[in-house]
Structure 1
């Protein structure tokens, strides 16, 4: 069977193309909204610190991280890591990102179940990630002699696919918390709120496409496995 001509393979290529377009659109949106200053005049760092304080969170630090779009919350050391631009900027984009990452800190502080589930998967996936690609490669190369290596690889890859789908409610919930807070606190105007919401929507789409891409990849390996067993 020529797996490069299978429908699932073409689906995978299509998803990869869509992923690239969404990444491009995300960068474009953030660049656009980063140029529009907030009427409140608050920086990303100030917004993050204010949101944490409003939720009674005193054990989380807001720090600057190198790079662009490298913003994240680290539950291990309880830090909200804002990229250099977001940390200093006073824009709708910076407000959206800073509040979103603090949304994860609020999830952590309130024991949000999906975040706990995702966090519990991280140690296992960190170990799996080191050797899973090699197992999958060996499984494809050895498919004519044994389906066991590929079967093991598929089982491991299914964990990463599950993780990508578990991530979706975590990200959407963090954005929901962020938008509700910046609106209630008066951090943004109505127009700025719309820009922040749009920026977070495009950021969320990157996770959606990543999950679909992971599922398409998993199905591709499954199709190889099932083709050999026929």
Structure 2
């Protein structure tokens, strides 16, 4: 018996991953909110901390710019610009400084040609196209009982899995670099580092949850493909 694509027994595989993703989002929000209320003793803002850390790493040519949104912070390797959100840029909180330092970690990775970051940046365009095609192709193949289209959809989705696999070490390494930089420069005191670590660890969980969800989705596709089998019925 064939089941509709979005309503079948294999959907149960996604429930644990969805719960993990929900928990990770709640944790990062609560951790950031908690340490956003704790001002750093030195009173530097996220932007000032980022600027100081970048300059220390020989990245004085990397600008620090404000970007709209909440936790929309990112380093853009295309124009070598570090973007900090409204809740980080002008804040003197431990959370803001931790997030700013994390983005500096990505800038340093770029400078040092950190392999996982290079791979992630290289495959982003392909993954964006593949992720957009994977489910439509698989869905059409499932409805038409055409294994070749389903296999093609799975192949495209494998690119998403690779993206997640290189994202995990990239994000964990950026956080580790951030904590070392903050400690070495004493922008945060020893007792304040723990707060920054809590925020960054919570953020890392969201990437873990996204990876688990992607793997669960892949397993679901493979199981649905098995229902169709190797024949065009």
Fold conserved (TM > 0.5)?
Answer: yes
SS state of the match for residue 58, structure 1? coil
- Which consecutive unaligned segments of at least 5 residues does structure 2 have? none
Which residue in 2 is equivalent to 1:190? 190
Q: Distance in 2 between matches of 1:221 and 1:63?
A: 41
Counterpart in the other structure of 2:201: 201
Partner of 1:164: 164
Aligned residues: 226
Alignment counterpart, residue 8 of structure 2, candidates 1, 4, 15: 4
* Match in the other structure for 2:211: 211
Supply the RMSD in Å over aligned alpha carbons. Answer: 1.4
Counterpart of 1:45 in structure 2 is 47
Instruction: Give 1:60 shift.
Output: 1.2
TM-score for both structures, normalised by structure 1: 0.94
Q: 1:84-103 maps to which residues of 2 (within 5 A)?
A: 84-103=86-105
Aligned position for 1:29: 31
Question: Using the alignment, how far apart are the partners of 1:47 and 1:141 within structure 2?
Answer: 54
Query: Please, which moves more after superposition, 129-138 or 17-26?
Result: 129-138
User: What is the TM-score of this pair, normalised by structure 2?
Assistant: 0.93
Q: Which moved more, 1:164-173 or 1:13-22?
A: 13-22
2:151 corresponds in structure 1 to: 151
Shift of 1:77: 1.0
Distance 1:54 1:155 in 2: 43
Q: Does 1:177 align with 2:181?
A: no
The equivalent residue for 2:22 is 20
Cα deviation 1:106-153 (Å, max 9, x = unaligned):
00001111111111101211222333332122122223xx11111100
User: Displaced runs of 4+ in structure 1, greater than 4 A?
Assistant: none
SS of equivalent residue, structure 2 residue 8: helix
Greater shift in the superposed pair: 124-133 or 35-44:
124-133
**CA deviations over 1:196-217 (Å, ceiling 9, x no partner):** 0011001001001100100100
Contact between 2:40 and 2:94, CA under 8 Å: does it hold in 1? Answer: yes
Q: How does 1:120-139 map to 2 (within 5 A)?
A: 120-139=122-141
